[in-house]
Structure 1
């Protein structure tokens, strides 16, 4: 197969994989098409078998971590951690919608940072819907906050997003240095989102709410689960200093809660396997092979020609913008896989700027990230389908502003902290 044909085949298969992942006909898992596509690009010679094996091997620790964190998040939800957070926010807001929005922002930002964006989308969104109904508030500002913060608030830690894990592995940074450099961009993105939300949803917020009924049952804070979660987060730092994968800390935290839940007969082995979402993990591995083929057949060279050199502020802004556009064209996971070979060689600055682009950019379109697509599906199942016009207009207001402010914050952090 010549180079042109290989490029056409690779791009066609990637687009087909992404289209299937977006539509998911009959509820079939994303891996249904992704795995055969990975085999096809390898058989066709677009990527060699050794390169395909190497790509899968490099992604295995990241995918293993993803499975462990999904189990950990589900066990936290089973223990009532998210319901307790919703109850706390409802009581603290006292029927004031501004406080309720601030509470949802705080809870969603912390959950996204510590338990990943999937926990916010899958587990927190239904809780937020129920909390809004409980206090008589219009749900739109709060559920849209879950979608936006699942992306925007995933900048902070390597464990907050699968894109972060991929970038962290290639960056050479420690866990704490990564977090230190991304703290200001994280805070900046959340602050901009909050200001825009207050104005964009002013009418919904003005509709008011009422305090929750005192007689309603409250979910007690699961102290044991919270302690395990904090210790797991500490474990991420320890494994980083020890030169080990964060996978081991996530596995340890998930194992503690899993053994406890199994002993109390609150879950089953089948339930734990279901929570790990093995088909999605296979999808990520297969997608990595397909993207590798597309990058090798020309996309990588094209990205290298477009991206500027250096870590100046204009260069970082350009990298973030290109990454955001690419995320909205081919989804943020393939985007970071395509960008990494170029930006990783340029140093931590451009790499983290690319991460800002692929994490914040998806707030512009549904297809920008799989988490946003999943959020949309969850709202449909709860009879609260989002409106494309609202989502797009909100994205047009938030994405450019968060990209600029967060990238400027990163540039400042690089100058103050260094790498």
Structure 2
């Protein structure tokens, strides 16, 4: 916020331009807040605990099933409720699930970090970077999902293959003795609201409305139920919306605008390819991945989208998205989600090994970038 005030006060960004940037980002920020509240209320309803218990029961006889189970659950939750839900809400459940299944915690814990980034390619709601790219792409909700489905699958399959090989020793360990915990109640109401919200995203896309209304409706329904049952408070709901993070996004948009308008935009315009050929898309995704690891993926996507959106069709914009979503699996600073994941692991007394994270990144990032970009090129018209 102080940086945004400084660039406006110094004239680096005129006040009218700064306000226009904030207004452009406001639907995205409102959507982000609604999805954060929706995810938190689903957690309060017991959705994550019930999911973890189901996975633990499935894996009790064969703990080797835990990793594929976590991959499926984390991929779906990331796609539907955003990567923040996977990092903040699912990761603690994964620790408890591994303990119930008598399985080692390292493979599924690291899977949560990787899938929070790589499984966020599918829907506009999966990541804040997706929301920004969705607004710049000119695509409908359904068309966006259709184009990103094959890249999403390609990235997840490669991640799983690498994890199976890298953690082969952990996965071969015999299960530890465990005690069956009580079976939690499945939150049918939360599942119904979540399914209705997803359907609402598609409907709003068809009628030309902003999908923020569908997210807001889902959050309001669950919030009203929680307030009536006194399982939530207005203060808690406001905290779940994370207003300081929303202000951070708005201020970051102004700061990045000043950098782009004063040199970075021209430099990126000279190095980014201007077509949707396979080499051009791969080069765009690679540049985006490198920039995400240098300055974090959120400012990277804000800097790259104006240039990519001027290209032919949605291909360059979606290639940027592939780069800024997959690239952060290489370093801790690549995304805010990874930094949050580190904090969650430390809170659970688990040491995050830089060597493991870096080696996994070196194995997965280049291969997933190549596969996902190739898949995007194949499905583009």
- What is the TM-score when the length of structure 1 is the normalising length? 0.89
Structure 1 position 45, deviation (Å): 1.1
Q: Paired residue for 1:58?
A: 24
Q: Paired residue for 2:223?
A: 258
1:136 aligns with 2:105: no
Structure 2 counterparts to residues 178-327 of structure 1, below 5 A: 178-209=144-175, 213-214=179-180, 216-327=181-292
Determine the C-alpha separation between the residues in 1 that align with 2:177 and 2:16.
61
Counterpart among 95, 98, 110 of residue 76 in structure 2: 110
Determine the C-alpha separation between the residues in 2 that align with 1:295 and 1:107.
38
Unaligned runs of 5+ in 1: 1-34
1:380 aligns with 2:346: yes
Structure 1 position 211, deviation (Å): 7.8
Q: Contact (CA 8 Å) 1:327, 1:333: kept in 2 or not?
A: yes
Q: Paired residue for 1:369?
A: 335
Structure 1 position 225, deviation (Å): 0.4
Determine the C-alpha separation between the residues in 2 that align with 1:269 and 1:311.
47
Give a deviation string over 1:214-273, Cα, whole Å, max 9, x none: 4x2111210010000000000011111121111110000000000000000101001101
Q: Contact (CA 8 Å) 1:96, 1:208: kept in 2 or not?
A: no
Change in Cα spacing, 1:260 to 1:211, as seen in structure 2 (3 Å) is farther
Determine the C-alpha separation between the residues in 2 that align with 1:211 and 1:349.
51
Structure 1 position 207, deviation (Å): 1.3
Unaligned runs of 5+ in 2: none
What CA RMSD, in Å, does the superposition of the two structures yield over aligned residues? Answer: 1.0
Structure 1 position 184, deviation (Å): 0.2
Q: Paired residue for 1:70?
A: 36
Determine the C-alpha separation between the residues in 1 that align with 2:107 and 2:159.
11
Deviates more, 1:285-294 or 1:200-209: 200-209
Q: Paired residue for 2:11?
A: 45
Structure 1 position 308, deviation (Å): 1.2
Determine the C-alpha separation between the residues in 2 that align with 1:55 and 1:401.
35
1:340 aligns with 2:310: no
Give a deviation string over 1:299-343, Cα, whole Å, max 9, x none: 111111111121110000000000000000010000000001110
Q: Contact (CA 8 Å) 1:90, 1:211: kept in 2 or not?
A: no
Q: Paired residue for 2:127?
A: 161
**What SS does the corresponding residue of 1:345 show, helix, strand or coil?**
coil
Q: Paired residue for 1:15?
A: none
**What SS does the corresponding residue of 1:309 show, helix, strand or coil?**
coil
Change in Cα spacing, 1:91 to 1:211, as seen in structure 2 (3 Å) is farther
1:356 aligns with 2:322: yes
Give a deviation string over 1:183-206, Cα, whole Å, max 9, x none: 000000000000000000111111
Determine the C-alpha separation between the residues in 2 that align with 1:209 and 1:238.
46
Structure 2 counterparts to residues 30-41 of structure 1, below 5 A: 35-41=1-7
Deviates more, 1:227-236 or 1:95-104: 95-104
**Aligned residues, how many?**
380
Q: Contact (CA 8 Å) 1:97, 1:206: kept in 2 or not?
A: no
1:122 aligns with 2:80: no
